[in-house]
């Protein structure tokens, strides 16, 4: 079975989960679900980044130990992902022993390879980024990302010889044109590399909360070396060689602010440790609220749970997948969310389901007829299935959902044209309703990656056995799979209209 390993960034536990985090996590979940439907052996990983000064300070401010602080915050992430029906296979916390072991093994491998050495470092440090900047990087003397003052720091640190990897990285990018997508982000990463790479600091002596450098225990590992390694820890590095060989390399989904770490540092660290770079890095833009990036300081964070209360998990998932293109920045709007929910979920999918179930009840005694092999929908549905598949493969959720929703529109058009609710029971009515049930069956499979709850319910109401999640593509989405003769049930609206 082909292995598909997909990850989200691991989230800092100094902050509560907001919809910017949810956006990446929902997309990764949908892609993982899609690949499960394709029959791949999927592993989907998310988790939390718990070490470093930022978390140590957050704990101090709240008068508790860093681990207590992390224990408290991690639950909020786990709860948020549960509310959103995120089906991750593993959840990694960098404070776990398995991760300590793996980071130390990678450090040792890079050290043995001659890529780690002590240097004295002086620089301007942003605690929020956990990164150094040069004077030129600053914006009016402030961190260009957080717009907060930077700190002047002098330390003897271990450094990773990133400069040695300029050529190997350029060669890798050349040989793997899809390593970073979209192209604009690939060019940005290439720009960094071509601009010349500086060795980067990977340890601190001024920090306690982290992983000790194995050969010099005065030093604690710098958070980015620690954090990036999470992806291989969970895949079995340093613990299960067979598993690791099967899982790695994986696919990363990240925001544009952490591109340099994932597209430059991380592949170099892996090469140094004798490992392969990731298979692909997908980079997305920011979800903006009122034109601004969400942040604690701007007080404009929206908690995923608040939206789930209004829209249900399907409503939130569908909105983010459909309306926030995976690439550019996008503005979050409550009104946009209501409009998307009403149009796609209440009026289209929900209405089609209740309409078909009601007419089957009235005209066919509640028993769903079989579809026609050569229905007027057959060709159109096959084209939409192919388009949906192609778009998910390209990680274009919005296009994928558009293609799937076209099946619903075609089916509604067929019903409008034939008006089975007005006709006398008989073969004509059976034929149209059989086709509509078949279309619903196929939509339930394809859309289940975005809206799993509603789709499981459609599956149940049209009388199918088992779970949508157990279906396998491409066979399950081929026209003609609805057997007919199944009890079709009506029920409360799948997606009650809002306002
Ligand atoms: N801990 C690091 C990542 C380490 S990965 C080895 C980190 N954490 S974070 O919690 O600050 O951010 C995690 C992800 O959330 C990043 O990809 C970031 O781009 C994303 N987002 C944070 N705010 C966002 C929006 N407003 N919109 C979209 N994504 C945003 O960085």
Cβ–Cβ < 8 Å for 435, 411: yes
Cβ–Cβ < 8 Å for 24, 60: no
Contact 21 CB / ligand 1 (< 6 Å): yes
Q: What is the pLDDT of residue 161?
A: 97
Contact 294 CB / ligand 1 (< 6 Å): yes
| Residue nearest (by alpha carbon) to ligand 1 atom 23 | 20
Cβ–Cβ < 8 Å for 484, 369: yes
Torsion of CA 255, 258, 263, 264, to 10 degrees: 170
Atom from ligand 1 closest to the CA of residue 11: 10
User: How far apart (Å, rounded) are the C-alpha atoms in residues 192 and 190?
Assistant: 5
Contact 227 CB / ligand 1 (< 6 Å): yes
How many A from CA of 92 to the centre of ligand 1? Answer: 16
Contact 10 CB / ligand 1 (< 6 Å): yes
Pocket test for ligand 1, best of 24, 77, 267 (most atoms within 8 A of CB): 24
- 1.10.10.60, 1.10.1060.10, 3.40.190.290, 1.10.730.10: which CATH number matches 334-487? 1.10.730.10
User: How far apart (Å, rounded) are the C-alpha atoms in residues 467 and 456?
Assistant: 7
- DSSP notation for 191-223: HHHHT-PPPEE-EESS--SSPEETTEEEEEE-H
Residue with tokens 């709007």: 333
User: How far apart (Å, rounded) are the C-alpha atoms in residues 499 and 75?
Assistant: 33
Contact 26 CB / ligand 1 (< 6 Å): no
Contact 11 CB / ligand 1 (< 6 Å): yes
The 10s digit of each residue's pLDDT in 154-166 is 878 999 999 999 9
Contact 287 CB / ligand 1 (< 6 Å): yes
At 153 the three-state DSSP class reads strand
| Residue nearest (by alpha carbon) to ligand 1 atom 7 | 11
Q: What is the pLDDT of residue 411?
A: 98
Q: What is the pLDDT of residue 314?
A: 98
Strands 3-12 and 292-293: unpaired
10 Å Cβ neighbour count for 249? 18
Report helix angle 19-37 to 378-393, nearest 10: 120
Atom from ligand 1 closest to the CA of residue 227: 6
Contact 254 CB / ligand 1 (< 6 Å): yes
Q: What is the pLDDT of residue 292?
A: 80
How many A from CA of 258 to the centre of ligand 1? Answer: 7
Strands lying side by side in the sheet with 212-213: 203-204, 216-221, 212-213
C-alpha closest to that of 312 among 499, 85, 32: 85
How many A from CA of 273 to the centre of ligand 1? Answer: 26
- DSSP notation for 98-134: HHHHHHHHHHHHHHHTT-EEEEEEEEEEETTTTEEE-
The pTM of this model reads 0.93
How many A from CA of 128 to the centre of ligand 1? Answer: 12
* Residues ≥6 apart with Cβ < 8 Å to 57: 14, 127
How many A from CA of 11 to the centre of ligand 1? Answer: 6
Q: What is the pLDDT of residue 328?
A: 79
With left for phi above 0 and alpha for psi between -120 and 50, is residue 489 left, alpha or beta?
beta
Which pair of structure tokens corresponds to residue 350? 């929900």
Cβ–Cβ < 8 Å for 304, 84: yes
User: How far apart (Å, rounded) are the C-alpha atoms in residues 496 and 335?
Assistant: 16
How many A from CA of 12 to the centre of ligand 1? Answer: 8
Q: What is the pLDDT of residue 297?
A: 66
CB hemisphere CA count around 271 (13 angstroms): 20
Which pair of structure tokens corresponds to residue 257? 């602010």
Active-site residues, by number, are: 18, 21, 126, 129, 143, 146, 293, 296
User: What are the residue ranges spanned by the domains of the chain?
Assistant: 334-487
Contact 92 CB / ligand 1 (< 6 Å): no
The residue count for the chain: 499
Helices (H) and strands (E) in the chain — how many of each?
18, 18
Name the maximum alpha-carbon separation found in the chain.
Answer: 87
Strands lying side by side in the sheet with 131-133: 131-133, 116-126, 151-160, 200-201
List of the chain residues with pLDDT < 70: 295-299
Q: What is the pLDDT of residue 257?
A: 94
User: Could you tell me the end-to-end alpha-carbon distance of the chain, in angstroms, rounded to an integer?
Assistant: 47
């Amino acid at each position: 079975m082909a292995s598909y390993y997909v990850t989200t960034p691991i989230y800092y536990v100094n902050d509560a989960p907001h919809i910017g985090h949810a956006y990446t996590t929902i997309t990764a979940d949908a892609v993982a679900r899609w690949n499960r439907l394709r029959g791949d052996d999927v592993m989907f990983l998310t988790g939390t980044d718990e070490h470093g000064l930022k978390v140590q300070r957050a704990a101090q401010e709240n008068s508790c130990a860093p681990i207590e602080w992390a224990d408290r915050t991690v639950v909020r992430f786990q709860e948020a992902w549960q509310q959103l029906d995120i089906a991750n296979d593993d959840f990694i916390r960098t404070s776990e022993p398995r991760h300590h072991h793996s980071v130390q093994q990678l450090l040792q491998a890079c050290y043995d390879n001659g890529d780690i050495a002590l240097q004295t470092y002086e620089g301007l440090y942003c605690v929020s980024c956990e990164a150094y900047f040069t004077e030129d990087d600053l914006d009016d003397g402030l961190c260009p990302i957080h717009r907060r003052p930077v700190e002047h720091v002098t330390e003897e640190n271990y450094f990773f010889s990133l400069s040695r990897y300029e050529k190997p990285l350029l060669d890798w990018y050349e040989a793997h044109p899809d390593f970073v997508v979209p192209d604009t982000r690939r060019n940005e990463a290439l720009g960094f590399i071509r601009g010349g790479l500086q060795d980067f600091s990977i340890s601190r002596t001024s920090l306690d909360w982290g992983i000790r450098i194995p050969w010099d225990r005065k030093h604690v590992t710098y958070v980015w070396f620690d954090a990036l390694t999470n992806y291989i820890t969970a895949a079995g590095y340093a613990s299960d060689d067979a598993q690791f060989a099967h899982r790695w390399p994986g696919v990363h989904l990240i925001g544009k602010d952490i591109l340099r770490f994932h597209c430059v540092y991380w592949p170099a660290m892996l090469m140094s440790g004798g490992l392969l770079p990731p298979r692909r890095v997908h980079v997305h833009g920011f979800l903006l609220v009122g034109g601004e990036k969400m942040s604690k300081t701007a007080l404009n964070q929206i908690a995923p749970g608040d939206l789930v209360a209004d829209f249900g998990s399907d409503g939130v998932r569908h909105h983010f997948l459909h309306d926030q293109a995976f690439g550019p920045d996008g503005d979050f709007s409550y009104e946009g969310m209501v409009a998307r929910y009403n149009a796609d979920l209440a009026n289209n999918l929900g209405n089609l389901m209740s309409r078909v179930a009601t007419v089957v009840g009235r005209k066919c005694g509640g028993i769903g007829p079989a579809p026609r092999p050569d229905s007027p929908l057959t060709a159109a549905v096959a084209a939409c299935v192919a388009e949906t598949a192609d778009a998910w493969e390209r990680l274009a959720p919005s296009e994928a959902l558009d293609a799937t929703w076209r099946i619903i529109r075609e089916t509604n058009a067929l019903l409008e044209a034939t008006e089975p609710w007005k006709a006398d029971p008989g073969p004509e009515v059976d034929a149209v309703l059989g086709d509509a049930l078949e279309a619903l069956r196929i939509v339930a499979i394809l859309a289940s990656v975005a809206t799993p709850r509603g789709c499981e319910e459609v599956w149940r109401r049209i009388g199918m056995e088992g779970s949508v999640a157990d279906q396998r593509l491409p066979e399950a989405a081929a026209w003609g799979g609805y057997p007919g003769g199944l009890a079709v049930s009506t029920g409360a609206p799948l997606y009650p209209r809002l306002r």
